[in-house]
Amino acid sequence: MRRIKILTIGLTALLLTACTKEVKSTIAYPAGVERPSLTPYELNVIAEKIYQNETGGNPKYLMYWSPNENFASLGIGHFIWYPQNEPKRFDETFPSMIDYYVANKVEIPQWLLQARKRGAPWRDKKAFERARSDKEFQQLKTILMNTKALQTQFFFDRLHASIPEIIKYVAPQYRKHIVDNYNALAKTRGGWYPLIDYINFKGKGIKSTERYNNQGWGLLQVLKNMRPVQKGAGALAEFSRVAYLILERRVRNSPPEKNEKRWLRGWKKRTDSYARPIL
């Protein structure tokens, strides 16, 4: 399998732009820079790994509603979809995935297109579970099962778009360090898997509502707290190590009544997988 060809000139230019002057509005990738790409093989391998992470290989969990949440979690990345008028603490990602299906010419039933504008068609977990045998529910489950690679491409595009947002968000003195660590992972064989999986798993790290004690747990926090790394196995190991430390910190900061400690075992297994190249 060929190595992924990454044009680092663009990210280097971004780094220089972001780190030498204040950002006034949006940091954009320089014109003419080619977007990194994944082969179909790479997309399928990463998709299957994320599918196992999120569902344990059980198609039932492609569509899930946690008893502790006010939203449905859909697809291999458990995209968030809120019912109408629900407060949105976390980034709502499934409506954007519906748009992505449309843009990529995936046939979408009319009810789903209409629901995209209104919100998830289930008002709560009870309604969600009652709907499991409904035609619409099964239609959506089939779409999700048959588009795992496309969902992974969506994650990859989201990752690419997040870097300017993250750089804009942090203070200037941290920008070079964050982009250097991102580049090290991007240029490492198998490095896209931890980057794609973590941003899907725990977000960008810039949303104010995704914090405890003013400390976030997203991709930003991992890249910022990593030691400086070069491409190679050391970059994977460092990302894996820090990702778990950030999640441990989240649990320490979380309200005791949430009992987030119960998730640490699964999170440790997941972040440990980042240290081993899957490609």
Contact 4, 42 (CB under 8 A): yes
pLDDT in tens, 31-55: 433 456 788 999 999 999 999 999 9
Domain shared by 118 and 27, yes or no? no
Domain boundary (129, 149, 169) is at 149
Q: 182 near 38, Cβ under 8 Å? A: no
Domain shared by 170 and 233, yes or no: yes
Quick check: is 3 in a domain?
no
| Within a domain: 222 | yes
Choose the final residue of a domain: 91, 126, 149: 149
Q: Are residues 80 and 208 in the same domain?
A: no
- pLDDT of residue 63 exceeding 80, the answer is yes
What proportion of the chain, given as a percentage, has pLDDT over 70? 87
Whether 132 is in a domain gets the answer yes
Write the pLDDT tens digit of every residue in 78-119: 999 999 999 998 889 999 999 999 999 999 999 999 999 999
Residues 221-248 as b/e (b if ≥16 CB within 10 A, e otherwise) read bbbbbbeebebeeebbebbbbbbbebbb
One domain for residues 263 and 183: yes
Q: Are 189 and 253 within one domain?
A: yes
Which of 149, 176, 207 marks a domain boundary? Answer: 149
Same domain, yes or no: 163 and 35: yes
Q: How many domains does the chain have?
A: 2
Q: Which residue has the tokens 């068609």?
A: 121
Max alpha carbon distance in the chain (Å)?
57
Q: Average pLDDT over the chain, rounded to whole?
A: 87
pTM confidence score = 0.81
What are 199-247's pLDDT values in tens digits? 988 999 999 989 999 999 999 999 999 999 999 999 999 999 999 999 9
Q: Which domain holds residue 229?
A: 8-41+155-275
> Is residue 239 a part of any domain in this protein?
yes
Spatial distance between the Cα atoms of 34 and 167, rounded to a whole number of angstroms: 19
The sign one gets for the Cα dihedral 50, 55, 59, 63 is negative
Residues 80 and 15 occupy one common structural domain: no
Burial 71-101 (b: 16+ CB within 10 A, else e): bbbbbbbbbbbbbeebeeeebbbbbebbebb
